[in-house]
């Protein structure tokens, strides 16, 4: 386990259920991979998606569904996209 994975796992332990968490670019985007399945949280990416899930399995990536750093993610049931271009 590398240092980034250790940090992401530790941060995941601090996230409280039923919260909205903004994930920044880079290491923060890894946190969703380590959140226990029973903890209900909505992750929001800088690109306007609320309801990000963990990385998809290899071969199941959707080029239209990425985190703020361009990494592939999944969407949880109830996910939404928002726009701040007003």
- Kindly name the residue from 14, 38, 46, 61 that is annotated as catalytic: 46
* Residue 42: Cβ-neighbour burial (10 angstroms; 0-12, 13-18, 19+): middle
Question: CA geometry: angle at 7 spanning 3 and 9, to 5°?
Answer: 115
46 among known catalytic residues: yes
Catalytic residues: 46
């Amino acid at each position: 386990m590398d240092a980034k994975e250790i940090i992401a796992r530790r941060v995941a332990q601090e996230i409280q259920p039923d919260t909205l968490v903004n994930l920044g670019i880079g290491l923060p985007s890894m946190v969703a991979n380590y959140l226990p399945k029973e903890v209900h949280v909505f992750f929001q990416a800088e690109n306007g998606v609320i309801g990000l899930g963990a990385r998809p399995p290899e071969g199941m990536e959707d080029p239209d569904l990425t985190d703020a750093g361009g990494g592939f993610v999944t969407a949880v049931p109830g996910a939404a996209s928002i726009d701040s271009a007003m």
